[in-house]
Amino acid sequence: MAEASRTSEARRDAVFGRWVIFSPARSRRPTDLKSHAPANPSPGAPKPSCPFCLGRESECAPEIFRMPAPPDASPWRIRVIENLYPALRRDAEPPAPEEQAAEVLPGERAVVGFGFHDVVIETPRHDVRLWDLDADGVADVLLAYARRVRQLMEHPAVKYVQVFKNHGASAGASMAHSHSQMLGTPFVPPSVITRLNCMKEVFKSLGKCSLCEFQSNDILVSETQNFSAVVPFAASNPFEIWIIPLRHHPFFHEIDKDMALDLGSLLRTMLQKLSKQLNDPPFNFMIHSSPFEVSSSPLPYTHWFLQIVPQLSVTGGFEIGSGCYINPVFPEDAAKILRELHCSI
């Protein structure tokens, strides 16, 4: 269907349970949509003030672990460190079990701000972005995530770990040096509960997992042996991409080296495509996994995936007030553009 003849359409997402209004009249042609945020250029030469750069390790918060580089290269290729300005504090007293159990009860409550807030420095070089690394380099970053998540799950008070990356100041990045973060919380975040409940209802109604049945050629961008990259049927943002394991599995942190290499190659390609098509936009990506203490019963409908959200517009009053989104680009159009876009690998 030609873009000019399309009318608005509302779609309900089968993973988060939210409604999205697709309104192509609110934008120019999808191919004209570009980032107009402050430029996010390649970070350039090392900055005298950047504590993430090689040789300035002593200026950072304590190191948790590092992944060493080959003997003839730099002393490290990835470092996982504590966040110098943590949202939650690892030295705080963990909430008592009865306080953690209270999260399911209605009404207001407060617990001690205990938790873990870590930073993953993805490269020692200031002038390299995540998608500038080769597939093995991106895979190593993913394996560092998984290793740290497995460490955090050993703490009895940690119920969930959110892994995320902010790129660009308007997407929440305070440092230009390529890095990502993770927060281990003593509660299961509300959006995770909503996601699991929505997928549970789909499973009860249709007898299948929302993401196992997600594949469609119209929204497919790329596929590997183990993963599909799609623009979701009810994408909340223009050119949003989900990378979904083809094999049903609830936990990201159980990824192995071969899977990480496959995912690293695909993630790298998707970030390159977004950068080329959208003028290096600010973006966030999040890994949506399952809570550590998930029982055996939710496993048929819990399925982890990675979500990439380019930040091309400002969230307004309608979105905040209603919980719905307005997207000017139909997923099928965005997927076609990204599918046909070639990047130098």
pLDDT, position 2: 44
DSSP-assigned states of every residue in 110-132: ----B-EEEEEE--S-TT--GGG
Listing DSSP states for 181-214 in one string gives: EEEEESS--HHHHHHHHHHHHHHHHHSS-TTTT-
303, two tokens = 């399925």
**pLDDT score at 171:** 85
- Which of the two residues, 186 and 74, has the higher pLDDT score? 186
Q: Tokens 């090689």 appear where? A: 54
Q: Phi first, then psi: what are they for 5, rounded to 5°?
A: -90, -5
Active-site residue flag, 179: yes
Q: Output the pLDDT for position 45.
A: 61
Q: Is 161 in contact with 182 (CB distance < 8 Å)?
A: yes
Burial tier of 19 (Cβ tally within 10 Å: 0-12, 13-18, 19+): middle
**Amino acid, single-letter form, for residue 306:** L
Looking at this protein, which amino acid is placed at residue 198?
C
How far, in Å, are 38, 147, 194, 285 from residue 257 at the CA level?
36, 11, 31, 21
Residue, of 71 and 40, whose pLDDT is higher: 71
Question: Comparing C-alpha atoms, which of 326, 191, 188, 338 is closest to residue 274?
Answer: 338
Average pLDDT over residues 263-277: 96
pTM of the predicted structure, to 2 decimals: 0.91
Q: In what order do the strands lie in the sheet with 160-167?
A: 63-67, 78-82, 116-121, 179-185, 160-167, 283-288, 305-310, 241-245, 227-230, 220-223
What pLDDT does 313 receive? 82
Share of residues in the chain with pLDDT > 70 (%): 87
> Given this model, what pLDDT does residue 342 score?
84
Q: How far is CA 221 from CA 42, 294, 303, in A?
A: 25, 31, 20
List pLDDT tens digits, range 59-68: 999 999 999 8
325-327 and 19-22 beta bridge pairing = parallel
Out of 179, 253, 288, 303, pick the active-site residue. Answer: 179
Which secondary-structure segment (H or E) carries 135? helix 135-152
Tell me what the mean pLDDT of segment 104-119 comes to. Answer: 83
Rounded (10°) CA dihedral 57, 287, 345, 126: -20
93 secondary structure, DSSP code: P
Structure confidence at residue 312 (pLDDT):
86
Mean pLDDT of 265-292: 95
What's the DSSP call for residue 37? S
Amino acid at 291: P
**Whole-number mean pLDDT of the chain?**
88
Q: What is the pLDDT of residue 28?
A: 60
Q: What residues contact residue 37 under an 8 Å CB cut-off, 6+ apart?
A: 168, 169, 170, 281, 282, 311
The per-residue pLDDT for 15 is 94
37, pLDDT greater than 80 = no
